[in-house]
Amino acid sequence: SIKFISNRSSGTTNNVVLPIELENGTTYVYQAESVVTVERKGNQFRLECNLKFDLCTLELSGWYHGKTAGILGTMNYEPMDDTTASNGIVTKDVKAFAGSWSIDEEASGRCSYSSNSHVAETAAETTNATSKSQGNFTVVEFCNDLFVNKSSEFLGCFDIIEPEEYSKMCTASETRAEACTVALSYMQICMFHDTYLRIPDVCSSCSMIDGDQIAEGQFTKLEGDRVPRSTDVVFIVEGKECNRGARENRSVEQLVTQLSKELKDQGLMDNRWSLVTFGADGVFDHPRSIVFDGQLFTKNVARFIDYFDHVPIGDGSRDIFAAIAFASKLVFRAGVSKTFILMPCSHCEPENQTLDYSVIHEVLLEHDITLHILMDGDFEFEKERLNKIFYGLDATKSYTKKDARTLTGDVDLRRQVKLSKSALGYCTPLSLEINGTIFSGDKLRFDKLASIKKFASVFSKRVALTAQPNPCQNCECTADNSGVTRMECIPCIYPTPVSVDY
C-alpha cells in the first residue's frame, strides 16, 4: 500500500525517496511539485493526489469493469451495489460502509456522515467562526458565488455537471482550504468532460521571500533591495553509464561543497538545490525530480549530496532539451537567479530532441536561466601540457589550472580554441549564448584529490560569477489547474544572446 501525508498533516516522513517503481516495475510513483502520481503501465490506472488541497483523482481503464469495490463504488453501472462494504455485503448504512473501507482502524469508528438536511445547519454554525478566523472571507459567500450565482465563474460547466451537491459540500466546509478543495474537485470533474475552469483567485496566491502574498494574476516589480541575494541550483543528470556512481566517480561531494562556498563568497545566501534526472529506464526514462521527504528543493547541502545516490542508470531517452524544459518549469522563488548544471552522457543531436532549439533557447533566455555543462569527456589539444591544465570555457574566456586562486580567465587562449558546434551538438550554443560555460567533466575523475579540488574551485568560481540575480525583474503570480502557484519573473530589459566566436 501507499500512504500519502498531505501538506496539512502534522506527520513527518524520513528517507522517503521518489520516484520509485512497484510491482516488478509495472507501477510508477513520482512527484511534480505538490502532485504525487501513481500510474500503471498500459494506462490501466492513474491516481493523482494533490497534497496541497488533499484531493485525489483516480482514472481506471475498462479492464477494471466489475472488478472494483470501495468508497468509489463498483464500476459496473449498477448503483444498487455501490455501497458494498469491505466484507462483500451491501449495506444502506453510509457510515458503516465508509468505515469498513478505512485502513486506519482507529479512524474507522469515527467516520461521520451528514445527511443533506443537516448540511445547512452545519454551514450556519461554522460560518461565524470561519469569517472571524479568516478575515473578510466567508465560506457561504464563496460557495454561493461559485455554485449558485448565475454570474459564477463555474457557470460554463453547470449544464454538464450539476453543482448542487458540490454546493452542499462547500457550504459544510469549515475553512477556506476545505472550500477550495471542493472547488478544485468540481474543476477536475469538469475537466474530465473537456470543460476547463479557472481556479478561484482566493484559492491561489504566491508567496514572496519576504513573506508577502501576491494574488494570482497580479504583477510586482523587484529591484534594489527587493531582489533576493540567492540562487536556485538545479543539477540535470542523464541516467546513463557515464554517470554511474556519480557521487564518487564524478566527485559530486567536492563539487557541490565547493560550489556552495563560492556562492556564499559572492554574497548569495539561503541557496536551494534540486536534482532532475532523465534517460534511464522505466519511470526514470522521462525527466523526473528526485524527491526526498516530499521536497523537490533543499537548503541542506549535505542532504543534497545524498540525492546523487539515487541517480538511476539505464538506456532510455536522449532528449536533453525535454529535461532542460522540465527543469525550467520547477517552482522557483521569486527574484532569485536560476542556475542549471547539466551532466550529459549523450550529445544534443536534433533527432533525439522533441523540442526545437529555438524554443528551448527562448525559454532559457526569457527566464534568465544560466546553463553550465560538465561534459562527458575532455578538451583535446595538440600540446599535452595544455590538455592537463585546460578546464573549460565560456563565450569569451578560457579557464585553466591557473585560475584556482583567483578567477581571471584567458581571452587569448579562448581565441585559440575552436569549438565545433558538433562537440556537444546544439548544447554548445545553448549554453554559451546565455552566458553559461562548458567544462571538462573528466577532470572530476582525477585520482588525486588535490587536482579535483582545483578543478572544482575554478568551475564553482565561474558558476558563482553569473549566479547574481537580475537587478530589475517584473514578476507575475500564475497558477495552473492543480492549484500550483509560481512567480514568473522576467528581466525588465529583455536579454540578448551573447555573441560567440566558435
Beta-bridge partners for 393: 398, 438
Beta-bridge partners for 45: 60
Cell numbers that stand for 359 in this block: 524554443
- For residue 77, the SS3 value is coil
pLDDT digits (tens, 9 = 90+) for 188-203: 999 999 999 999 988 9
pLDDT score, position 132? 34
pLDDT score, position 500? 85
pLDDT score, position 107? 53
pLDDT score, position 133? 42
- For residue 124, the SS3 value is helix
Q: How many angstroms separate the CA atoms of 83 and 470, rounded? A: 58
Q: Are 229 and 222 in contact (CB under 8 A)?
A: no
Q: How many angstroms separate the CA atoms of 36 and 51, rounded? A: 8
Burial grade of 43 (CB within 10 A; 0-12, 13-18, 19 or more): exposed
Q: Are 294 and 35 in contact (CB under 8 A)?
A: no
Other residues' Cβ atoms within 10 Å of the Cβ of residue 420: 8
Residue whose grid cell is 529555438:
358
Q: Are 440 and 392 in contact (CB under 8 A)?
A: yes
Strands 231-238 and 337-343: parallel
| Alpha carbon of residue 135 to chain centroid | 32
Of 426, 366, 429, which is closest to residue 395 (Cα–Cα)?
A: 429
Burial grade of 466 (CB within 10 A; 0-12, 13-18, 19 or more): middle
List the domain boundaries for the chain.
Answer: 20-98, 133-203, 220-491
In the chain, count H helices and then E strands. 15, 20
Other residues' Cβ atoms within 10 Å of the Cβ of residue 229: 17
Q: Are 137 and 131 in contact (CB under 8 A)?
A: yes
pLDDT score, position 122? 40
pLDDT score, position 5? 61
Residue 113: what residue type? Y
Residue 112: what residue type? S
Q: State how far the alpha carbon of 372 is from the alpha carbons of 20, 325, 339, 340, in Å.
A: 28, 15, 8, 6
- For residue 379, the SS3 value is coil
Residue-level length of the chain? 502
pLDDT score, position 112? 53
pLDDT digits (tens, 9 = 90+) for 323-351: 999 999 999 999 999 999 999 999 889 99
pLDDT score, position 416? 86
Cell numbers that stand for 281 in this block: 529506464
User: Helix, strand, coil: what percent of the chain each, to 5?
Assistant: 35, 20, 45
Q: Are 7 and 51 in contact (CB under 8 A)?
A: yes
Model-level pTM? 0.89
pLDDT score, position 241? 96
382: Cβ–Cβ under 8 A, 6 or more apart, which residues?
A: none
Spell out where 280-394 has E strands.
Answer: 288-289, 291-292, 337-343, 369-375, 390-393
Cell numbers that stand for 476 in this block: 507575475
Q: How many angstroms separate the CA atoms of 469 and 461, rounded? A: 16
Strands 231-238 and 272-278: parallel
Task: Please state whether the peptide bond connecting residue 19 to the residue before it is cis, i.e. omega within 30 degrees of 0.
Answer: yes
Q: How many angstroms separate the CA atoms of 496 and 502, rounded? A: 18
What is the CATH topology of the domain spanning 220-491? Rossmann fold (3.40.50)
Q: Are 114 and 100 in contact (CB under 8 A)?
A: no
Residue whose grid cell is 530532441:
353
Q: How many angstroms separate the CA atoms of 391 and 300, rounded? A: 28
The pLDDT tens digits along the chain (502 residues) read 566 665 554 444 456 799 999 989 999 999 999 999 999 988 899 999 999 999 999 999 988 998 899 988 898 989 899 999 999 999 999 899 999 998 876 555 545 555 444 433 444 444 444 343 455 578 999 999 999 999 999 999 999 999 999 999 999 999 999 999 999 999 999 999 999 999 998 899 999 998 899 998 999 999 999 999 999 999 999 999 999 999 999 999 999 999 999 999 999 999 999 999 999 999 999 999 999 888 899 999 999 999 999 999 999 999 999 999 999 999 999 999 999 999 999 988 999 999 999 999 999 999 999 999 999 988 888 788 888 899 999 999 999 999 999 999 999 999 888 776 566 889 999 999 999 999 999 999 877 899 999 999 999 999 999 999 999 999 999 998 888 999 999 999 988 898 887 6
| Alpha carbon of residue 223 to chain centroid | 26
